[in-house]
Amino acid sequence: MARMIARGLGSGAMAWQRLLPLTGGTLLLLLGLFCAWQAWLIASESGGVAQVHAAQDTAVHALATEIAGERKQVAQAVASLDPAALQGDRAQLATALRARLPQALDVEIYSASLDEVLHANYRTFGYAKAAQLMAAQTGDGASPVQTVVADGRRRLSVVQPLGPVQRPLGWVWVELPFTPLQRRFESIAPGGGRIDLRQGDDRGELSLLSRGAPSAEAEEDAKPVPGSSFSVRAALPAAFILLPRVWPLAGLLALLGIGGGVYLLWLRGRLSVRQEIQPEETMVSDVIPAKPQPAPPVVRPATTMPPAASPADAVDPSIFRAYDVRGVVGKTLTAQVARLLGQSIGTLMREKGLNEIVVGRDGRLSGPELAGALSDGLREAGIDVIDVGAVPTPVVYFAAYRFNTGSGVAVTGSHNPPDYNGFKIVVGGETLSEGAIQDLYRRIASGALEAGGQGGLRHVDVVPDYIERITSDVQAERRLKVVVDCGNGIPGAVAPQVLEGIGCDVVPLYCEVDGTFPNHHPDPSDPHNLEDLIHAVRQTGADLGVAFDGDGDRLGVVTREGEIIYPDRLLMLFARDVLSRQPGATIIYDVKCTGHLKGQVLEAGGSPLMWRTGHSLIKAKMRETQAELAGEMSGHFFFKERWFGFDDGIYAGARLLEILAGDLEGRTPEQIFATCPKGVSTPELKIELVEGEHYRFIEKFREKAGFGDATLTTIDGVRADWPDGWGLVRASNTTPVLVLRFDADNAAALKRIQQAFREQLFLVDPGLKLPF
């Protein structure tokens, strides 16, 4: 028996002797081949980077040469004019210049003082054109060459002084074809990378041309093109490199791996030969039958192993809310949860035949990790991700239109405390809410998730396009001074540029993005958060103050006198403006808005429609009714007219300033707001209850409450309207609270309505602690 055991042990040892060199040799050989591949990639990348940078330098030189040639022709043509004629008719001078510049698409001459430019309507004259002319006047007479768009086509624009540079007698504006510059740029091959031609600076950069691989990773810094406002940015070829980018080191590792692997495989062959020629020892048990042995007893384990944890065990279902997914970072919301959510969204997209999505994040500290994990989950499901970085939520929505994905996720905690974060989700043009959000959880809980995909990832800066899209359409007719309070939220990176771009003087307040929100909470619906803004408007003598929430989709407004203009009154102004161009259009507002709003919409020729509170619910109703405008008491505004229909606090702020600055009677903002009727009202009042109890309370309240001759609306809670005011109680869909609001023509009516609600609330729960 002992010899049998020894024989078995000996056989096992010999098997291991043969197996270990085979396994180790194979692994080392594979590792060596991998390192050889990495060395080749590193060497190729190094050559590719050098090729891209060489193409960048070539493009800068070629474009600078082309621009210098164009400017020289213009300067020579201007210098060839008879100095005695410089005081003559401008039209004749322009005609003479056209004869000398046959390639010019347009030639215009302006006075030395540029008075006609300073007083022009920039919406028709051209904001960029005016800026270039004034830059020449304040500089050395030769402002940088740039591009403008005329008749839908891009052109080069050149400004040249008439007469001596020190004391010009006028200014020549010449528009030239952009095509020669474009041909020069497109003739340059950047190898495996990409070069991009840009115009402007970091605050308002515009993409003009791109040449090369779309997936290449753009460098931070661009090289300026002398004599112009252009720059050329290099985008380097992206290679899957895991080793340090030193090809001799990778080559050495490859040699060691391949050499070691070959040696171990050779050693394994030698061992096999020796074992084959060694005679096998004969055991007694081989020739004498062994006596039968009793079967060993069956030993059963005392406990069984628990089943593997399912994905649902890592996800708290309470984070799946009515309008979004939201939780506390590190507790109910982790990177694992974000990854599973990404897989769930990606699975839904695959079912709908969608394959690309935009992902962006606000300024919270947890944003990068959660957005990265979400993108990993989406890519695991086979979805290509366009990462637009740290941007306001409306910029994510804009990017979904800009890149024609129809889908986007904003990683944002909105106006919640710093330790919260969440996800606002759009799939196929639909903002997910209620049942659609619960469906995402059910997919995770059941494990019905797409996996094994290899979705792509590219990083895109879409903010310049967003700013240009707004400022090219919205303009303030006169300069207003406005204090902009971003509460250290992500709108601080975008909103001041937008409002400056439409022609306002901006005084920034708390515009530095800081996810800890050190100054005040970024929630303009709370009057306490507007105190610093009111003080800043008074101290600076500004015309107005605007505030944005943490992710930029809500707007708050205060006047110079310190009055808070509530969103339902702002919606009156917006409705009048939209209806002046879209008569008869549907205007949607939520159940928390003033009763005066309906009459104002009707008076302006529109069709008013009250609907449920919630940005996703409002957007769904807009699509259903083809409404041109919608708004909520929380400060969400949705412009379909001239915009895309999503809620955008920054765009709403620009439209408000356009209305106030364009008043034909020259009234102050206070005088304009005074035309919007208001009564005596309360802010949102809240009663905290246990999670889920607020929904049950509303059901009981609907059954028991009676308000006599009042008109009842029950689409979202219970709203009772009388001729002189109204009251509302509804269940919040974001937190376990009852939300109440009251509005009346006078204090006596407000008190009467509150008493009626007090009596009905106590019928359901006599122990309620009422905030009024």
Task: Cite the active site residues.
Answer: 326, 414, 636
Say if CB 745 and CB 751 are below 8 A apart.
no
Say if CB 648 and CB 631 are below 8 A apart.
no
CA-to-CA distance for 731 and 414, rounded, in angstroms?
A: 19
Which spans in 453-492 are helix H?
463-471
| CA separation, residue 705 to residues 300, 514, 688, 753 (Å) | 65, 46, 20, 13
Supply the angle between the helices 747-764 and 693-704 in degrees, to the nearest 10.
110
**CA distance from start to end of the chain:** 92
Closest CA to 268 of 7, 32, 28, 6: 28
Q: Per DSSP, what are the bridge partners of residue 389?
A: 360
Say if CB 314 and CB 341 are below 8 A apart.
no
CA-to-CA distance for 676 and 564, rounded, in angstroms?
A: 13
Question: Encoding tokens for residue 726?
Answer: 């109204």
CA-to-CA distance for 412 and 35, rounded, in angstroms?
A: 41
Q: Kindly write down the DSSP assignment for every residue of 95-158, as one continuous string.
A: HHHHHH-TT-SEEEEEETT-HHHHTS-HHHH-HHHHHHHHHHHHTTS-PPBEEEEETTEEEEEE
| CA separation, residue 169 to residues 85, 117, 162, 483, 548 (Å) | 11, 15, 5, 39, 47
CA-to-CA distance for 487 and 522, rounded, in angstroms?
A: 5
Radius of gyration of the chain (CA): 35
Burial of 539 (0-12, 13-18, 19+ CB in 10 A): exposed
- Name the maximum alpha-carbon separation found in the chain: 132
- Nearby residues of 381 by Cβ (< 8 Å), 6 or more positions away: 342, 343, 345, 346, 347, 349, 350, 449, 450, 451, 453, 455
Closest CA to 511 of 462, 547, 555: 547
CA-to-CA distance for 765 and 610, rounded, in angstroms?
A: 28
Question: Encoding tokens for residue 225?
Answer: 């093109």
Q: Kindly write down the DSSP assignment for every residue of 148-203, as one continuous string.
A: EEETTEEEEEEEEEES-SSS-SEEEEEEEESHHHHHHHHT---TTSEEEEEES-TT
β 384-390/356-361 pair status:
parallel
Q: The tokens 């768009």 sit on which residue?
A: 149
Question: Encoding tokens for residue 514?
Answer: 């800081």
CA-to-CA distance for 623 and 640, rounded, in angstroms?
A: 10
Burial of 228 (0-12, 13-18, 19+ CB in 10 A): buried
Question: Encoding tokens for residue 227?
Answer: 């004599």
Q: Name the percent of the chain in helix, strand, coil, to the closest 5.
A: 45, 20, 35
Say if CB 706 and CB 760 are below 8 A apart.
yes
Closest CA to 651 of 467, 503, 484, 508: 467
